[in-house]
Amino acid sequence: MSISTHIQRLWSFPGGLKLDGRKQLSNEGPIESAEIPHLLEIPLSQHIGHPAEAVVKVGDSVKKGQLIGHAEGAVSAPVHASSSGTVTAIEERLVPHPSGLPALCVIIETDGYDRWDNCTPLISLDDPQHKNLHALSAEQITDKVAEAGIVGLGGALYPSAAKLKTARKKATDTLIINAAECEPYITCDDALMRNRPEEIILGILLIKKIVGARYCLIGIEDNKPEAFKALSDAIAGYERAIHEHCEQTIEIIQVPTRYPAGGEKQLIQVLTGKEVPTQGLPMDIGIICHNITTAATVYQAVYRGEPLVSRIVTITGGAIKKPQNMEVAIGTSIREIMDQAGWDKTRVDKIIMGGPMMGFALPSIDVPVTKATNCILVSEPGELATPPPAMPCIRCSRCADSCPMSLLPQQMYWYAKARDLEKIQDYNIFDCIECGCCSYVCPSNIPLVQYFRYAKNEIWDDERERNKANLARERHEFRQERLEKMKKAREEAARLRKEKLAKKKAEEKQKAAGGDGGKSPASSHADLIQEAIARSKAKKAQQQALKRNTENLTEAQQRQVDEAERRRKKR
């Protein structure tokens, strides 16, 4: 394995800002371990895609690392218990999300022992030469990543296994590891690089093996000298152990500190000079990008057999007494980790999950830490400026100058405000990474990013409605087609019955014609009726004639007639 830590030629991206990082507040000390909470609220949806499906029920005892939510669908990720205890409820609870909506959570009352479930690593930690690393197949590693519930921890939360499988199919040439961490205040990645660089490097080697990339570029901002040195030393240390098994290149490159250098597309452009196509993916140009923390969790899954049940969170801000980086079990209440770090309730102005540029205000501090939680920023009054009311746009073009995606925020703003959702898409609104640069520099204090988020959500809602309407139309058309087929089938069946009945009558007629002189049963029956009527008429006529003949008889003649009638009756 050829390893380099030299500074290669760098490119640049448009726009961007030079911000006060304020990272020194939290990156001075080691990573602290958060206390085991009494109660864990673990959401079943902590990733892009379908929520996990609960596989436990109320009353079940669980151990740390045990599966409690099964991945549902191709784009999904399993969820695991982050400590041992008993499941007390499975219900909707408030979660940290910009919408403020609740989500289904598994509630675990911990027992305080933090007992692990059986963890089966793929590689032994007692293998100093890392021979097993090269004996593993890409499929084995990918399956382990999927089983561990690993998602993109840089903020995207896309299931890592699905992303790695796609990259492998597309013959990815370059793996980029994002260690820039450009958002102000946030230092969790910095702390991880300074304290656990070996885990990161081994995780990177596992990812490289999966995707089959020839090159790996680690991009780190030049304001992290300690992290840069730690990674460089770790790479050099592992070079001797594994160089005979690998001919690939790893380079760690310092990039200028400029927000948002840590954006996926911006970092790719700085390191390679290549631009990701509009509404495209890095894989379209042979590149895959992963966060530095994601690489470390891949190491933990393969070398320790541990699923993703905790993450490092930065607790910082002017209202925090002891800003620090803390490893927190997923599902722990944010209130509890704020209590552990110490916070002055009288000085709190804002409580934000994430950084000041791309973070969002929490609906409550009684919400759980999730896989997406990288920072809890608790500011004091005056620390984060509250913008005054928005004023009319003065067309200064500062928003366009600062946009790292070379978009036209001013035009997008007009169409978003007018809700012209078709026209705004002509300006590539979905290329907007919502970095907040345009809102930050706007002299009119227009919350541009909020307008763009609104427009995106409206477009997605319209798209969903169209899809539902199309599905309903297709179902209606299918039903009408089915009913028409059924109608034709009934008509055909009726026609066949009529033909069969006519054929049967014809056969009976033909049979009757052959047996009684050509008369059918129907005609014979009619003839009998006519004959009976004729006989009745004849008898009646005879009686009337007899009556007329006896009207003028003498008494003696009448006696003779009566005697003859009696004799006839006796016979």
Point out which residues pair with 69 in neighbouring strands: 54, 79
Query: Do 356 and 407 have their domain in common?
Result: no
Q: Is 563 within a domain?
A: no
331 and 184 within one domain: yes
pLDDT at residue number 563: 77
* Rounded CA separation 519/26 (Å): 114
| Domain boundary pick from 511, 527, 546 | 511
| Mean of per-residue pLDDT scores for the chain | 88
pTM, whole model, 2 decimals? 0.81
Split into its structural domains, the chain has a count of: 2
| DSSP three-state, residue 31 | strand
Q: Which of 181, 232, 172, 239 is nearest to 207 (CA)?
A: 172
Other C-beta atoms lying within 10 Å of the C-beta of residue 192: 25
- Output the pLDDT for position 1: 45
Cα angle at 230 between 225 and 231, to 5 degrees? 100
DSSP strands (E only) in 331-374: 350-353, 360-361
Rounded Cα distance between 164 and 151, Å, is 11
Does the pLDDT at position 432 exceed 80? yes
* Cβ pair 51, 101 in contact under 8 A: no
**Sheet with strand 215-221: strands edge to edge:** 2-4, 249-255, 215-221, 174-178, 287-291
Residues 18, 109: one domain?
yes
User: How many angstroms separate the CA atoms of 333 and 389, rounded?
Assistant: 34
- The pLDDT of residue 245 is above 60: no
Task: List pLDDT tens digits, range 12-49.
Answer: 999 999 999 999 999 988 999 999 999 999 999 999 98
In contact, 446 and 392? CB cutoff 8 Å: no
| Three-state SS at 36 | coil
Q: Residue 332: pLDDT above 90?
A: yes
Section 176-181 average pLDDT: 95
Report the percent of the chain where pLDDT is more than 70: 89
Report residue 8's pLDDT band, with 50, 70 and 90 as the boundaries.
Answer: low
pLDDT digits (tens, 9 = 90+) for 79-125: 999 999 999 999 999 999 888 889 999 999 999 999 999 988 988 77
Query: In 261-309, where do the E strands start and end?
Result: 287-291
For the segment 285-326, what is each residue's pLDDT rounded down to a tens digit?
999 999 999 999 999 999 999 999 999 999 999 999 999 999
Listed residues 479, 494, 511: the one ending a domain: 511
Is position 370 within any domain?
Answer: no
* CATH code of the domain in which 222 resides: 3.40.50.11540
Q: Which range marks the domain in which residue 171 is found? A: 2-361
225 and 331 assigned to the same domain: yes
Asked if 354 and 399 sit in the same domain, the reply is no
Whether 446 shows a pLDDT value over 90: the answer reads: yes
Using alpha carbons, select from 139, 138, 140, 158 the residue that is nearest to residue 149.
Answer: 158
Residues 111 and 254 in one domain: yes
Q: Tell me: do 167 and 53 sit in the same domain.
A: yes
Tell me which range, 60-69, 152-161, 238-247, 358-367, is most confidently predicted by mean pLDDT: 60-69
343 and 397 share one domain: no
**What span, in angstroms and rounded, lies between the C-alpha atoms of 406 and 477?**
45
Q: How far apart are CA 382 and CA 318, in angstroms?
A: 10
99 and 153 within one domain? yes
- The residue whose two tokens read 């596992």 is 206
304 and 396 housed in the same domain = no
We report the CATH number of the domain holding residue 504 as: 1.10.1060
- Of 496, 511, 526, which closes a domain? 511
Looking at the fold, whether 122 and 171 belong to one and the same domain comes out as yes
Same domain, 402 and 274: no
The predicted model gives 327-348 an average pLDDT of: 95
Can you tell me the mean pLDDT for 71-75? 88
Cis peptide before 256 (omega within 30 of 0): no
Distance CA 444, CA 397 (A): 12
Find the range with the poorest average confidence among 39-43, 457-461, 484-488, 545-549. 545-549
Please check the confidence at residue 540 and state whether its pLDDT lies above 90. Answer: no
What does the pLDDT look like over 384-412, one tens digit per residue? Answer: 988 889 999 999 999 999 999 999 999 99
Stated as kind and residue range, the H or E segment containing 327 is strand 324-329
The mean pLDDT value for 243-266 works out to 82
Higher pLDDT, 8 or 396: 396
**Residue 497: other Cβ atoms inside 10 A:** 10
Which of 134, 158, 196 minimizes the C-alpha distance to 289?
158
Top-confidence residue, 559 or 461: 461
